[in-house]
Structure 1
Amino acid sequence: MMRWRWIWVTASLALAACHQPEQQAAPVVSHPPAAATSAPKAASHFEPPPDSSIPQDDFGKQIALGRQIFTDTGRYAKAYVGNTLNCENCHLDAGRLAHSAPMWGAYPMYPAYRAKNRHVNTFAERLQGCFQYSMNGKAPPLGDDVLVALEAYAYWMSKNEPIGVAPPGHGYPKLPRPTQAPDYARGEAVFKRDCALCHGDNGQGQRVADRTVFPPLWGAQSFNWGAGMERLDNASGFIKANMPLGRGNTLTDQDAWDVAYFMNAHERPQDPRFKGSVTETRKAYHDTPDSLYGVTVNGKVLGE
């Protein structure tokens, strides 16, 4: 926890990157205009138990292992990870923080039907998808020690929550559609001002002691085109509530949409469901204005 708190404090004190944005035109995704912009409404949310209350027994050992996997995934689940991300890069504070898809908000909602793979998923299957898409790796087999430990951690964190009831703060906030369509150049300016100091001028992230502390946002070491964060609605909601780290809800809604567009207008690893055609893959899995997969940006078709 001390390492995470050091990272959190360091990031929250970050100022702005010094580069000036380059002016360049790019296609944009059209969205219906919203009447106004607003931050996610404040609401009480579930408070998971403190780490100090993990039981000192065999079940507690699995909970603790699950937390280790969550915070240092490349070390404790190396066989199933294909990039340098850790689970907590998208599920902040070891999966505890509201409005960053916390584990206590996810566990009680499964089994559930998911349109993404068109069948009812167990929580273990949901975790498999995270490894396949967000970690750009491969799914651990059902019953694998990695999945069992992660399930134990999420179960323990969610105790005393009602089953099948989405609590406040359980996922990423859903922002109103922006007044102006998301824009590459505006997003680049936001990125250089508020994001580059931590995530790098080229979105490459930062590592300390061979561990990712600020994740790469695009490129070979980031999430692939099948991950939920490639959708502009998911990315903008996460960014608005949580970024810059330690200063969530300081960007405008428009800034959040614009910088989400800029982030996702860069290449990343291919969607694992790709069968040789970007056009067909978009039609099957990305047929929404919230995805830039298969869209031409700055003269390049993303995903090719």
Structure 2
Amino acid sequence: MQTLIDFDRAPVFAIPTIEPVGGLTVREGLLLEGPQGWGEFSPLPNERALVRWLTAATEPGTVGWPDPVRGRVPVAVTVPAVDADRAHQIAAASGCRTAAVEVGAGGLAQDVERVQAVRAGLGTGGAIRCDAKGRWDPDAAVTAIAALDRAADGLEFVTQPCQTLDELAQVRRQVEVPIAAGDPIGLHLGEAADIAVLAAGPLGGARRALRVAEACGLPCVVSGTLETTIGLAAGLALAGALPRLEFACELGTRGLLAGDLVADSRSLVPVDGYLPVAPMPPAPQADRIERYALTDPARVAWWRERLQSAISAS
């Protein structure tokens, strides 16, 4: 692997978010160039499965992505934990027919107002799902899901209302709204979930995520982790290759970043609620790499150590 990719000179980037998303105000990571193209290594701060992220980041530039079975995929716009007016604006301007709304970061009343605003922004025909990021205990989850289901005039599903599989199973037995669980690798979801969430980075790339989808035996929804266009392209490759794609993909996050590393014409912004599936990610632009280069020496060193840890463990 090291003979194919120059890890030592991998560009380190830092792009501010337009508003906090899941607690993030800046999205950082590295770009890795292989013989066939570029990949993104951007595990979240608390992520421990660094080898999976490294595999995902090197996949497009080495072995490539699996063959697609569709040329474009429907996309859900992500609405972070913003106030109701901003939530309405994001949903209405997205062009998407599905919205994934972050909840659980504040009070239930604010969550209800946000979901109501998204419903108004999407219209009556749009689908709404919520992502609690494991923030509730089972009792709080049951109460919140009922209130949010009413606010949405019907939720498509709720992702990760609690942390553990046992807690998810408790909630699922008490609510009618389907429950989605993240990180299904090696887990027997059993009674804990109706839907599995697949993200290319945490699962080790598009090819490995396809194997996870087959093994878990549940309907799957493809999600991202607030990547740049180069990282989002991996999620699109996964969505394009899934035998069945029953849900809009949570890959409509490019608009939550203040910039991108590719040319504007290649940036993955949904059009009429869809994104195209490409055979490889677009290459970054030199001026964008320079503009969004991480300049804090301590942070640069932290990222390079993180990358080296993944290489050593692989």
The TM-score with structure 2 as length reference comes to 0.28
Higher RCO (C-alpha 8 Å, min separation 6)? 1
Question: Higher strand share goes to which structure?
Answer: 2
The TM-score with structure 1 as length reference comes to 0.29
